[in-house]
Structure 1
Amino acid sequence: MTAGATRPGVTAPISPFPALAEERLRALRRMKLIAGGLLVLAAVVYVVSRIVGDGNGVWGYVQAAAEASMVGGLADWFAVTALFRHPLRLPIPHTAIIPEKKDQIGEGLAGFVHQYFLTTEIVSERVAAAQVPARVGQWLAEPAHAHRLAEELSSAIGGLATVLRDDELRNSVAAFADKRLRELDIAPLLARLIDAACDAGQHQAALTTFLRGARKFLENNRAEFRQRVAQESPEWVPEWLDDRVFNKGFSLLQSFIADVIDDDSHGLRRGFDTQLRELAERLRSDPEQIAKVEAARDQLLDHPRIREYLANLWDAMKTLLLREADNPGSDLRRSAESLTMRAGEVLRDDAGIAGKVDEALQRLVGHVVTHYAQDITDVITTTIERWDSEETSRRLELQVGRDLQFIRINGTVVGSLAGLAIYAITRAF
């Protein structure tokens, strides 16, 4: 089987760097030709020395060097070839080491990686040296990167929306919103809102607005009120008396409302403030008042219009989200870019925050290494086990075979020198 062939039924992997793989294959073939050429040259020299020479003098040295060169070259050819296949296709024991021991090699490699690479100390040291928070912060702080990240986020939102099942999400969102609203302690929340409004004086402003509206309403409907007084007044009462009584009472009411509007310390205002604060206190401590508010909350949530609104909440949210994500100038995109840049600046410039993030990252990596290192190294073992034996041998030979050919070259050259030295020493003694 040739170097580029694969066994039937085994799909050869597609190299992610085809140009690099072809270059390595050419380099491997070139080095094999050089190593083989030296061995052939040694054989030719040996044959010539045997034919032409008589084994004495210079020819003896040449013959000894050529003979030892052939032995060294053949021995190293056998050793290098035995790593990847059976030499001359003969099933010699302890040859084709890589194909025969593929699984054991995978287990050994996984164990080596586990023992010397995937340790908490080594990984934590490398994570600390990498300065991940600072580098990530520097990248995120760049406006172009923040803009790109916002675009990717928008694209992800759009893509996610197309694969989600609206019916299921519509029911889930409605059920979730209803559940959360029913679980909400609304009475204490209303109490806090009342306290906040009173502390800010907003309740008095609201009262003033209401009184001004009431005064205007009374003035605009004066005739209507006068007519109602006439209808309720006995027939024997003169009309001029009705007019006088009505005008006096109406004026007194308008004057009272004006006094309350103009006087910030009016008794009615103080009473209004006291009643609101008492209501807030009852909302916090009175079980009966709390029960009434919760019953009103549940009754409101059971209203058909509210149920319809909750049912359509997901559709409204999805429409708004997609519109904002699709618009380059939307508040969502601008907020995403701004938050990204701000987060990057914090990671880059705040040593305290960066230190905490780095510490958390190291703890996370340490946890992963401690609990999942075996699973990680199992990837090596299982991957190599799935490889075809001959394909594995071919891959490894493609990676390191060129350098191994230098062993053959060195064996041929060193063998000739060793043979020459041994022959010379033998002749000398």
Structure 2
Amino acid sequence: MADQSSALLIPSAAGDAARGSALTRMKLVATGALVLAAVVFVLCKVIGDDHGAWPFVQAASEAAMVGGLADWFAVTALFRHPLGVPIPHTAIIPRKKDQIGESLGDFVQQNFLTPEVVGPRLQAAEIPRRIGEWLCAPDRPEQLAAEFGVAVAGANTVLADDDIRESIGRFADAQLRRLPAAPVVAKVLDLAVEGDQHQVLLSEGLKSLMRFLEDNRDLFRQRVAEESPEWVPSWVDGKVFNRLFASVQNFLADVAGDPDHALRKQFDQRLRDYAEALRTDPHASDRLEQWKSELLDHPAVRNALMSLWTPLKRAVLEAAVDPDSELRRVGVSVIRQTGSALSTDADLQAKCDRWLLGVMRHVLTHYAGELTGVITHTVSRWDAESTSKRLELQVGRDLQFIRINGTVVGSLVGLVIYSLSRLL
């Protein structure tokens, strides 16, 4: 039984006033029938005699009063104590409110929330096709894409950037640490060697090195002079440096300009050997993993991973609110294609129906009790008196016909019984 201090009054519903008026009218009619039977009985007793039809009318009116009173008691006992007297087994609804709620929940669960009942209705609804037609309505994809942009922009106001940055950083770090580096690097090296991209990279590296040496020629010349013995003339240092510098630059130019240079072939072979070692040599793989861990532990790398969120968020927000952005165009296209497929592809509709049925069966099998528990919990929190009044508003008008029928049927049965007693 719910704590009465926390019981909830049932709020008024639309149509309660009309139901109340109809109930009052039917109560007056039923009571009027009972009063009419009583008046007839009194008249029979006062002005009637034992001759003619008077005994039959008196017997019928007497039985009508008994039937009407009995049914009045039965109907009233459902909702309250008749005349306020706490007679046992009366005021059934206020007294059994919680049990009624539990029984109602069980009834709904056993007779409505079952796969056998819900399944055919779910299939008959043709939900995938209807969703597809709704998505394909004119301007609907553009509208939904625009609403998505508004939702994304609105979500930005409640997102905690610091928490998300840390989460993305931790997620990226965990994924990179979990990903074996050796197979990935070996595959990248294989692709680079097969496409000669490593040679392009080597050429660009050699050219960059040549420019670096040329840009810092004076610095290297000064360093050679500092390292040279004091007794060596400066012009000798200059000649030696110039020749050595020119030799290095010429060598680098030869390697950069000759695709068949021996150094290039050695570079090619070294990369192939290293890729193979990463696949077969545990030591090479372990060294690469150690280097990867050291790299990920570096504060600069960790900050870089955490900073991924800011440019990503900015790009998504700008694209979401821009009607001409690629994101919006892709969104519109995806919505339109999805709607077209759902509305026309029978195989896809059948597949979606099977998925919906599977979800329905899972929900009803595991959570039907929780669904009907809403009924039980809600009824248990209702105030007993307001619950009784609300139910009486819903069904009380029809129950008044029981009183009327009791009065009428009682009179007929009384007449029949009296007639048989006179015949016998």
TM range (shorter): 0.7 to 0.9
Change (3 A) 1:238 1:74: closer
Contact 1:49 1:55 in 2 (8 A): no
User: Using the alignment, how far apart are the partners of 2:48 and 2:360 within structure 1?
Assistant: 72
Change (3 A) 1:131 1:156: farther
Aligned-pair identity in percent equals 46
- Specify the SS of the correspondent of 2:14: helix
Contact 1:146 1:341 in 2 (8 A): no
How large is the RMSD of aligned CA atoms in angstroms? 4.6
| 1:318-357 matched pairs, under 5 angstroms | 319-320=313-314, 323-324=317-318, 327=321, 329=323, 335-336=330-331, 338-357=333-352
| 1:150-169 matched pairs, under 5 angstroms | 150=148, 153-154=151-152, 157-158=155-156, 160-161=158-159, 164=160, 169=164
User: Which residue identity lines up with residue 317 of structure 2 in the other structure?
Assistant: R
1:186 maps to what in 2? 181
Contact 1:324 1:332 in 2 (8 A): no
TM-score, normalising length from structure 2? 0.75
User: Which residue identity lines up with residue 256 of structure 1 in the other structure?
Assistant: D
User: Using the alignment, how far apart are the partners of 1:236 and 1:269 within structure 2?
Assistant: 37
TM-score, normalising length from structure 1? 0.74
1:189 Cα deviation after fit = 1.4
User: Using the alignment, how far apart are the partners of 1:101 and 1:52 within structure 2?
Assistant: 48
Alignment pair present for 1:195 and 2:193: no
User: Using the alignment, how far apart are the partners of 1:54 and 1:225 within structure 2?
Assistant: 146
| 1:296-375 matched pairs, under 5 angstroms | 296-313=291-308, 316=310, 319-320=313-314, 323-324=317-318, 327=321, 329=323, 335-336=330-331, 338-375=333-370
Change (3 A) 1:345 1:208: farther
1:143 maps to what in 2? 141
User: Using the alignment, how far apart are the partners of 1:139 and 1:208 within structure 2?
Assistant: 58
1:153 Cα deviation after fit = 4.2
User: Using the alignment, how far apart are the partners of 1:148 and 1:70 within structure 2?
Assistant: 72
1:160 Cα deviation after fit = 4.4
2:254 maps to what in 1? 256
User: Using the alignment, how far apart are the partners of 2:54 and 2:262 within structure 1?
Assistant: 134
- The count of residues paired between Structure 1 and Structure 2 equals 413
Alignment pair present for 1:13 and 2:14: no
Alignment pair present for 1:397 and 2:398: no
User: Which residue identity lines up with residue 323 of structure 1 in the other structure?
Assistant: L
Change (3 A) 1:256 1:319: closer
User: What per-residue deviation string (whole Å, max 9, x for no partner) do you get for residues 311-359 of structure 1?
Assistant: 5555x27853883487354655555555455444444444444444433
Q: Which moved more, 1:85-94 or 1:141-150?
A: 141-150
User: Which residue identity lines up with residue 155 of structure 2 in the other structure?
Assistant: I
1:49 Cα deviation after fit = 4.8
- Specify the SS of the correspondent of 1:94: coil
- The one of 92, 95, 98 equivalent to 1:103 is 98
User: What per-residue deviation string (whole Å, max 9, x for no partner) do you get for residues 251-303 of structure 1?
Assistant: 9658736743xx6x666655544333333222322333323322332232233
Alignment pair present for 1:176 and 2:171: yes
Contact 1:154 1:325 in 2 (8 A): no
User: Which residue identity lines up with residue 14 of structure 1 in the other structure?
Assistant: P
1:86 Cα deviation after fit = 1.6
1:79 maps to what in 2? 74
Contact 1:70 1:415 in 2 (8 A): yes
Alignment pair present for 1:285 and 2:285: no
- Specify the SS of the correspondent of 1:275: helix
User: Using the alignment, how far apart are the partners of 2:235 and 2:163 within structure 1?
Assistant: 72
Q: Which moved more, 1:418-427 or 1:374-383?
A: 418-427
1:181 Cα deviation after fit = 2.5
Alignment pair present for 1:27 and 2:25: no
